[in-house]
Amino acid sequence: MKIKLGENAYGKNAVELSKIIRHANYHEFRQVSVNTLLEGDFETAYTQGDNTRILPTDTQKNTVYALAKDHFTGSIEDFALYLANHFTTNNPQIHKVQVEIQEYSWTRMQFNGELHPHAYTSGGAEKHTALILQEGNTLSVSAGVADLLILKTTDSAFEHYIQDAYTTLKPASDRILATQCTATWRYAKPAGDFSALFSNIRQTLLHTFAYHKSLSVQQTLYDMGKAVLEAYDAVQEISLVMPNKHHIPFNLEPFGMKNQNEVFMATDAPYGYISGTLVRE
């Protein structure tokens, strides 16, 4: 029986990097987590234990920190592009590089209408994401937002669904809609100002969610993605994951009270999981 090595790759995950960019009047604090993944002529490392073509994962980690000093000064997309090009240019045995970066949200504190020069507050679980794939001269650039917790208290319904012998869910014409949204979009080509594009696309997603008359999470997901594709020619496709963070009306009748859509029980599990990808035809 013949056995051969199939697809393979290796890299370094969870390179946690924090950086202070010192401006004249304030400090800019950035915190990211970087994953690197390499594909190339590494078969003999697996089959023979020959490491002569292996760039150690520890070296990959050190490269992230070293290059961050001079080259992590703008968007995470630009930094990921620089890292991918560095690994490709300096290692001919590498055919494909993937660099994934998640940036944690930090915002300067504000007092009496003025931003503090060096004190920050966390933006919670929300992260700005970037994914770069470089294979030869071919580049793929994706960006997104992860764990964006959003909620609205009305303009959301869920009715006219299948009801069978096991259905207990009651139709709702007015309910809380909450989700921890993850959106990822792929650019048609490397864009110019990645930071501005990210901020504008994020704002479009939020605006659509807030003003959309939702008949289902699926419909809201579609209209959020549609709004992005209609507004930004640079975006080729967008994928959204919108788990339903349920807020269930609590039964107050045992206490002689009527719950007029005011008191809810928040639940973590189980939860509905809704996803979809929108592409240009």
* 19 labelled catalytic: no
* 47 labelled catalytic: no
Alpha carbon 88 to its chain centroid, in Å, reads 25
Which residue among the candidates 71, 246, 247, 277 is catalytic per the annotation?
246
Which residue among the candidates 44, 57, 204, 277 is catalytic per the annotation?
57
Alpha carbon 58 to its chain centroid, in Å, reads 26
DSSP tag of 169: P
Which H or E element spans position 224? helix 217-231
Using alpha carbons, select from 135, 146, 108 the residue that is nearest to residue 32: 146
d(CA 39, CA 239): 25
Residue type, 66: A
Phi-psi bin for 263: left (phi > 0), alpha (psi -120 to 50), beta?
beta
* 61 labelled catalytic: no
Catalytic residue ranges: 12, 57, 246
